[in-house]
Amino acid sequence: MTTRAKIYFASDIHLGALGYTSSREREARVVRWLDSIKHDAAELFLIGDVFDFWFEYTTVVPRGYIRFLGKLAELVDLGVKLYFFKGNHDMWMFDYFEQELDATIISNELIIERQGKKLYLHHGDGLGKGDGKYKILKKVFRSRLCQWLFERMHPNFGVGLANYWSRNSRIANEAPKEKKMFENEWLVSFARETLQSAHYDYLIFGHRHLPLVINLGNNSQYVNLGEWIHFNSFAVMDGGAVELGYFECTNEL
CATH assignment, 6-246: 3.60.21.10
Three-class DSSP category at 112: strand
The model's pLDDT over 216-250, given as tens digits with 9 standing for 90+, comes to 999 999 999 999 999 999 999 999 999 999 999 75
CA–CA gap between residue 133 and residue 88 (Å, rounded): 13
pLDDT confidence of residue 106: 93
Three-class DSSP category at 95: coil
Rounded to whole angstroms, what are the CA distances from 103 to 46, 72, 128? 10, 10, 28
- Name the H helices within 10-89: 20-37, 66-77
pLDDT confidence of residue 173: 45
Question: For residue 43, what is the enclosing H or E element?
Answer: strand 41-46
Give this prediction's pTM: 0.85
CB 92 within 8 A of CB 165: no
pLDDT in tens, the chain (253 residues): 457 799 999 999 999 888 889 999 999 999 999 999 999 999 999 998 999 877 777 777 878 899 999 999 999 999 999 999 998 877 677 889 999 999 999 988 999 999 999 999 999 887 867 555 655 666 656 667 666 666 666 666 556 666 666 665 555 445 455 555 555 678 899 999 999 999 999 999 999 889 999 999 999 999 999 999 999 999 999 999 999 999 997 566 5
| Residue closest to 227 by CA, chosen among 213, 214, 208, 240 | 208
pLDDT confidence of residue 82: 98
Question: For residue 132, what is the enclosing H or E element?
Answer: helix 132-141
The residue ranges of every structural domain in the chain are: 6-246
pLDDT confidence of residue 246: 96
